[in-house]
Amino acid sequence: MSKYTEDDLREELKTKEYEYGFYTDIESETFPIGLNEDIVRAISKKKEEPEWMTAWRLEAFRVWESMEEPDWANVNYTKPDFQAIAYYSAPKSIDPNKTLDDVDPDLLAMYKKLGISVDEQKKMNNIAMDIVVDSVSVATTFKKTLAEKGIIFMPISEAIQEHPELVKKYIGTVVPTKDNFYAALNSAVFSDGSFCYIPKGVKCPMELSTYFRINQAGTGQFERTLVIADEGSYVSYLEGCTAPSRDENQLHAAVVELIALDDAEIKYSTVQNWFPGNAEGKGGVYNFVTKRGLCEKNAKISWTQVETGSAVTWKYPSCVLKGDNSVGEFYSIAVTNNYQQADTGTKMIHLGKNTKSTIISKGISAGKSQNSYRGLVQVSSRAENARNFSQCDSLLMGNECGAHTFPYIEANNKSAMIEHEATTSKIGEDQIFYCNQRGIDTEKAIALIVNGFSKDVLNKLPMEFAVEAQKLLEISLEGSVG
């Protein structure tokens, strides 16, 4: 009798490949590997940047040179050789004055594979989209529709040309060049990313979306996103990421800065699905990202993230609650499987009076992976009546993975109220059998249990994204119960 056991299932699923692991052969222009001042200048020149921008980059580069790569995170990996990476790679056949119709057919085919045909996106969804492949922004849809409301949504390289006053005023104000090693590196070499400005009192009528993909081998991706919500405005912003399967590790070091002025609200949602490496832990993206938002008076910033990809993740989307009555939220699902390592969480810095923050973190670990939550809640002496609620839940599958929680609390004002709750649970064989007995097979049972566990966070995602995120959770965890 051959029974289809748990082990058979696991074995069979191991061969399932990373769904987005294709490579598109597009002619591209890649700079020589290595990093020095000349490369930084060359990137800036390539982008025809004004002098202030070149100077800003060079300053960042000099700071970076004097810095050391941080090693306090709960992750182990071979440090990248920063002189073995190409810092600029652009699909060659892109005309700077492109419209959607002129986009390389190979590129368009690639979007189709990704399930994000630009054409369809344009027609069917109320989502304006900027797509960054390797380092360059290739298509921004809905630009005109948005322009009628005074909303600016464009590649940051264009914004530097067309709206230098805004870029110059805000870039590096939330994440300074010398903030950390990767932020400094990004500031020196970023080649593109998205820029968004919502004018006073405007509610952005559609979701804005950026899609990132690394395609070229041996390149790093360093995109830079800057979102400014002027007084009383509102915007919901989505960000998705994939990369092809490769044996070597690829580096991704992005910076995202959000600025919510008085009474403004920014919702920033991410579904991160960079290549996690294969089942033996070979390859995969190093995702070292700095994301931070600044809230002025009565402003609100919500970060929602679903992290299923990358070999190593180092990421702490944070809120600086500068203005009185401002609100920061962080909702996160981080999934690790096989040999993935994630050290992720948030920082809530309470500076203003009556500031409030909420942290809901759901970590799911399977295989031989390690999943850490790291969070800081800091209340300054001036922040009267600050409130924080944190909840960190971990779900374990099998006996070889790890879940860790590192909460840091610094309260310097006696009126602060800080609550922290944490739980750890395991998907049990009893749960699986219960589902099986009701006619639900093991794979579906895991999906059901994981979705239930993640519900509080999935509910925070915009509708279209929530469906995609649910699917992604299922794919990431297939065959991982032991």
Partner 1 sequence: MLQINDLHASVDDKSILRGINLEVKAGEVHAIMGPNGSGKSTLASVIAGKEEYEVEKGQIVLNGEDLEDLAAEERAHKGIFLSFQYPVEIPGVSVTNFIKTAINETRKAKGLEDMPAKDMLKLIREKSELLEIDRKFLSRSLNEGFSGGEKKRNEIFQMAMLEPKLAILDETDSGLDIDALRIVANGVNKLKSKDNAVVVITHYQRLLDYIVPDFVHVLLDGRIVKSGGKELAHELEEKGYDWIKEEVNA
Smallest distance from the beta carbon of 4 to partner 1, in angstroms?
6
Cα–Cα distance measured from residue 23 to residue 15, given in angstroms and rounded to the nearest whole number: 19
For 175, the token pair is 């994440």
**444 near partner 1, judged by CB under 8 A:** yes
Residue among 306 and 311 whose Cβ is closer to partner 1: 306
For 153, the token pair is 């949504």
Residue in 64, 142, 339, 453 binding partner 1, rule: CB under 8 A: 453
**6 near partner 1, judged by CB under 8 A:** yes
Smallest distance from the beta carbon of 439 to partner 1, in angstroms?
4
**23 near partner 1, judged by CB under 8 A:** no
Among candidates 418, 427, 368, which has minimal Cα distance to 394? 427
320 within 8 A of 294, measured Cβ to Cβ: yes
**421 near partner 1, judged by CB under 8 A:** no
Smallest distance from the beta carbon of 471 to partner 1, in angstroms?
15
**471 near partner 1, judged by CB under 8 A:** no
Residue among 144 and 438 whose Cβ is closer to partner 1: 438
**408 near partner 1, judged by CB under 8 A:** no
For 458, the token pair is 């999935």
**114 near partner 1, judged by CB under 8 A:** no
For 96, the token pair is 């700077």
For 338, the token pair is 């096989």
DSSP letters for 108-122: HHHHHHTT--HHHHH
**474 near partner 1, judged by CB under 8 A:** no
Residue in 417, 428, 467, 471 binding partner 1, rule: CB under 8 A: 428
Residue among 101 and 430 whose Cβ is closer to partner 1: 430
Residue located via tokens 């804005």: 208
Residue in 456, 464, 468, 474 binding partner 1, rule: CB under 8 A: 456
Residue 241 — φ and ψ, nearest 5°?
A: -140, 135
For 327, the token pair is 């609100």
Residue among 68 and 430 whose Cβ is closer to partner 1: 430
Residue 100 is classified by DSSP as: G
**4 near partner 1, judged by CB under 8 A:** yes
Give all strands (DSSP E) within 296-440, no chain letters: 300-307, 312-315, 318-321, 327-336, 341-350, 356-365, 370-379, 387-396, 402-411, 417-426
**248 near partner 1, judged by CB under 8 A:** no
Burial of 22 (0-12, 13-18, 19+ CB in 10 A): middle
> Could you tell me which stretch among 33-41, 219-227, 351-359, 441-449 binds partner 1 (CB under 8 A)?
441-449
**394 near partner 1, judged by CB under 8 A:** no
**74 near partner 1, judged by CB under 8 A:** no
**424 near partner 1, judged by CB under 8 A:** no
Residue 400 — φ and ψ, nearest 5°?
A: -110, 0
Residues forming contacts to partner 1 in the complex (CB under 8 A) are 1-6, 425, 428-431, 433-442, 444, 448-449, 451-456
